[in-house]
Amino acid sequence: MSNMPSNPAAARRCSPHGRIEAVNAVSADPRESNLVRAARGQSTTHTPVWFMRQAGRSLPEYKKVREGIPMLQSCRMPELVTEITLQPVRRHKVDAAIFFSDIVVPLAAAGIDLDIVPGVGPVIANPVRTAADVEALPELTPDQIDDIATSVKMLVGELGGTPLIGFAGAPFTLASYLVEGGPSRNHEHTKAMMYGDPGLWNALCAKLARISQTFLQVQVEAGASAIQLFDSWVGALSLADYQRFVAPHSAAVLGAMGELDVPRIHFGVGTGELLPAMGAAGADVVGVDFRIPLDEAARRVGPEYALQGNLDPALLFAPWPAIEQKVIEILAAGKTAKGHIFNLGHGVPPTTDAEVLTRVVELVHEHSAR
């Protein structure tokens, strides 16, 4: 399961990417962009918008450049990563780029034997279940991800005033993949370890927190202007379990990022009951899925936090007037928060019509222009 970047043909296939004209940038400095300002609760010229999983899957130009290149390998090829990350910025005129990678890339880079299987997701060769398994997990050192720093630097050079969001998986979501061995609906083995051997669980999460921290730090030091910590599956936990078993580990990662002075977005799915705790773990922005309205989310997290969200991705398949009405409702509800970054409630579905996304960006920009 090698993931070494070595495909010159693919690198040549990437068109020379012209510098992104900062259509939506208010400043040549990404730290003064609408996205970063909204994250900090400062005034903006319009509500910034980007989409989780905007790079990839739904774009024909993505499928073309990825052809024949395995996912993990593609994430380690700076020319290709740069091209794929820029594609949705060029096409949709979103207010931020999200770094093209995957939450398991740092695990693979550290030496854990895994693959991303098309149509399945991450699959771990040897699931982590015992003390010996946790003990054997490697650490990640920055020199193992030199290519990630190279990709980020190339991107920042191309993006001008448009900010790049770096990201990593949060300890719980990474642990779930490692312990289950792959995607899981109910996280049975993960919860069995959590309850059966809290000491082992904490040792595992502490190691994963260090890996995520290194992955994020490399991206920020190379020029990313904001970070998002994806705890995609943490909605599977009760609030009490979240606070006891997960929050301290996510807080370790977010706390370290706070020292780098970039806004921190903290996101999970099905987290209505967890939102205040996810904010308190050290976020500036709390990501909200589509299950509760943003005004209710703002009430739950309080005035200290900006919000990100929260159009139901399935609505992208509805007739335009229904989408339009919902976008306008979300913009109104978002005004009750300290700041608002428009996004979907989860990732762009692979079969989405890309033109609908472009229209959503235009609508958000026009309707929120101040």
Binding site for ligand 1CP (CB under 6 A): 52-57, 71, 98, 100, 102-103, 116, 118, 121-122, 167, 183, 230, 232, 347
User: Pick the catalytic residue: 13, 40, 53, 129?
Assistant: 53
Q: Is-catalytic flag, 305?
A: no
**For residue 274, which phi and psi values (nearest 5 degrees)?**
-100, -10
Which residue is nearest to ligand 1CP, using beta carbons? 121
Helix (H, G, I), strand (E, B) or coil at 163: coil
Element (H, E) at 330: helix 320-334
Q: Is-catalytic flag, 31?
A: no
User: Pick the catalytic residue: 37, 76, 91, 177?
Assistant: 177
CA distances from 369 to 47, 143, 310 (A): 7, 43, 19
**Nearer Cβ to ligand 1CP, position 313 or 334?**
313
Question: End-to-end distance of the chain based on CA atoms, in angstroms?
Answer: 51
How far apart are the C-alpha atoms of 13 and 10, rounded to whole Å? 5
Smallest distance from ligand 1CP to CB 79, Å:
17
- Name every residue whose Cβ is closer than 8 Å to that of residue 146 and which is 6 or more positions away in sequence: none
User: Pick the catalytic residue: 40, 57, 90, 291?
Assistant: 57
- Give DSSP secondary structure letters for 273-322: TTHHHHHHTT-SEEE--TTS-HHHHHHHH-TT-EEEEEE-GGGGGS-HHH
Strand partners, 169: 230
Q: Is 342 within 8 Å of 364 (Cβ atoms)?
A: yes
CA 95, 97, 103, 107 torsion-angle sign = negative
Q: Is-catalytic flag, 66?
A: yes
In eight-state DSSP terms, residue 223 is T
Q: Is-catalytic flag, 57?
A: yes
Smallest distance from ligand 1CP to CB 190, Å:
12
Smallest distance from ligand 1CP to CB 336, Å:
25
Which residue blocks in 67-161 are alpha helix, DSSP H? 71-74, 78-92, 105-110, 131-136, 146-159
**Nearer Cβ to ligand 1CP, position 41 or 250?**
250
User: Pick the catalytic residue: 102, 231, 289, 312?
Assistant: 102
Smallest distance from ligand 1CP to CB 341, Å:
14
Smallest distance from ligand 1CP to CB 132, Å:
26
In eight-state DSSP terms, residue 115 is E
Strand partners, 340: 307
Q: Is-catalytic flag, 19?
A: no
Query: Reduced to 3 DSSP states, what percent helix, strand and coil does the chain have, rounded to the nearest 5?
Result: 50, 10, 40
**Nearer Cβ to ligand 1CP, position 110 or 338?**
110
**For residue 98, which phi and psi values (nearest 5 degrees)?**
-110, 130
Smallest distance from ligand 1CP to CB 80, Å:
12
**Nearer Cβ to ligand 1CP, position 234 or 338?**
234
**Nearer Cβ to ligand 1CP, position 41 or 179?**
179
**Nearer Cβ to ligand 1CP, position 89 or 134?**
89
**Nearer Cβ to ligand 1CP, position 232 or 271?**
232
Smallest distance from ligand 1CP to CB 139, Å:
21
Which residues are annotated as catalytic?
Answer: 53, 57, 66, 102, 177
